Amino acid sequence: MSDLETRPVPARASLPRRAVPALLGYAAVRALGLAVLAGWSAARGKSAHTLLTARWDSLWYTRVAELGYGYEVRLPNGDVHSNLAFFPLLPWLERLLHAVTPLSYADAGFVVSLLASLAAAAGIFAVADRLYGPRAGFFAVLLWAVLPVGIVQSMAYSESLFTALAAWSLYAVLTGRWVSAGVLAALAGLTRPVGAAVVAAVWTAGAISFVRDRGTRHAPGAHRDARAPGAPARRRVLGMLLAPLGAGGYVLWVGHRTGAGPLGYLDVQAGWRNGFDGGYAFARFVAGRFTSFPSALAGLGLIAGVALLIWLYVTCVRRRQPAALLVYTGVVLALALCASSYFGSKPRLLLPAFPLLLPLAGALARRRAPVAALVTAGLAGAAAVYGAFWLNGSGPP
């Protein structure tokens, strides 16, 4: 018997062990971003801590955690900004952490986001590793970390929490853990309105699985009990039923509280000038950049950015990403690009669309280690500088 025949096949490391390098790399990138932000802010006489925990949406989440719902601001133009627009899971976690630790509500939000960002990185790795292997998973995590607006992952915002829940729900779908997928989708729906993307992904994957089951049962020579359809079908149905409970429950509660009926949440969003117009307002905003030469450059940049997003999505389709990922990413893109919301918010609204990074991660994984390391290090440095500049300037509304 040859050595090849007798040599034992090494066991594959467990998912947590395979994820360790990616998580260490992610932590290093985030630490770099926070260090540059601290230095930049100090040089400008500002507090990095305040920028991360007590501006824009962070203040709204903190107020919900401390005082509950019911606060609103009436603007001179008649708009009403109600804190009912903010979904409750992050404030609930802030309140819980504040209750069991000496942390303030704001600092509790910061800690929740830091922990959630690590959970999100682990979930992104799990999905990419499942589909393309650990090396692609490693670079998928790093690419998510070095996004230009990656500093939001360390803010007391809900993007990291949502991405963590979405990524692990998608991983549960890919591995056939339907009840877990439904529970995580429900929690994602309690985090952000875009939780609808996770619900759509679970429903799509569930429907496809039933269609495939039916095809298998009716295939010539197939055994009717070959896949034990009874119990798996019940779990799939349960997961699909659980998935919309978070978003649906909160939206219905808002409608009841405001007295506006089941769609009352849309009225709350309208008070913030948020709505879905198919991208008309965003197109007008981009067109408005071409009124002068300096702003025209920004307009060209916006067009190039949208074109890149579309190209990446088409690439994901051509490379046959699982339907759950394609549906999830498509809904995230549609809600981000076709909503008449604050245009400065769109980059951070796209943070959860991590499946778009998988083709790029695969390309980096195929490169030689020095080249891939140089590219990611350069991107990490650029993202750290841009994040500090952005947060000390206009920042993420």
C-alpha to C-alpha distance for 33 and 30, rounded to whole angstroms? 5
pLDDT digits (tens, 9 = 90+) for 49-88: 999 998 889 999 999 999 999 998 888 887 888 999 999 9
C-alpha count within 13 angstroms, C-beta hemisphere, residue 330: 15
Q: Does residue 41 form part of some domain?
A: yes
Compute the distance between CA of residue 87 and CA of residue 95 in angstroms, rounded to an integer: 14
Residue 2 pLDDT greater than 60, yes or no: no
Q: Each residue of 125-156: pLDDT tens digit? A: 999 999 999 999 999 999 999 999 999 999 99
d(CA 30, CA 207): 38
Please state the domain count of the chain.
1
Sign of CA dihedral 121, 123, 124, 126: positive
pTM of the model as a whole:
0.91
HEC-encoded secondary structure of the chain? CCHHHHCCCCCCCCHHHHHHHHHHHHHHHHHHHHHHHHHHHHHCCCCHHHHHHCCCHHHHHHHHHHHCCCCEEECCCCCEEEHHHCCCHHHHHHHHHHHHCCCCHHHHHHHHHHHHHHHHHHHHHHHHHHHHCHHHHHHHHHHHHCCCCHHHHHCCCCHHHHHHHHHHHHHHHHCCCHHHHHHHHHHHHCCCCCHHHHHHHHHHHHHHHHHHHHHHHHCCCCCCCCCCCHHHHHHHHHHHHHCCHHHHHHHHHHHHHHCCCCCHHHHHHHHCCCCECCCHHHHHHHHHHHHCHHHHHHHHHHHHHHHHHHHHHHHHHHCCCCHHHHHHHHHHHHHHHCECCCHHHHHHHCCCCHHHHHHHHHHHHCCCHHHHHHHHHHHHHHHHHHHHHHHCCCCCC
**Is 60 exceeded by the pLDDT of residue 341?**
yes
Q: Enter the tokens of residue 7.
A: 């040599």
Domain assignment of residue 198, given as a range:
19-216+232-391
Contact yes or no for 313/327 (Cβ under 8 A): no
8, pLDDT greater than 50:
no
Residue 56 resides in a domain: yes
pLDDT for residue 230: 39
pLDDT at 116: 97
- Residue 376 counted as domain residue: yes
So what's the pLDDT on residue 220? 54
Residue 225: predicted pLDDT = 36
| Stretch 33-58: mean pLDDT | 93
What's the pLDDT score for residue 216?
Answer: 64
Mean pLDDT of 322-327: 96
pLDDT at 293 over 80: no
Amino acid at 225: D
Is residue 251 a part of any domain in this protein? yes
Q: Which amino acid is at 52?
A: L
Tell me the C-alpha distance between 188 and 10, whole Å.
37
Q: Is residue 225 part of a domain?
A: no
Assigned domain for 83 exists = yes
Q: For 59-70, how does the pLDDT look when each residue is reduced to its tens digit (9 = 90+)?
A: 999 999 999 999
59 in any annotated domain: yes
Q: Is residue 26 part of a domain?
A: yes
Share of the chain above pLDDT 70, in %: 92
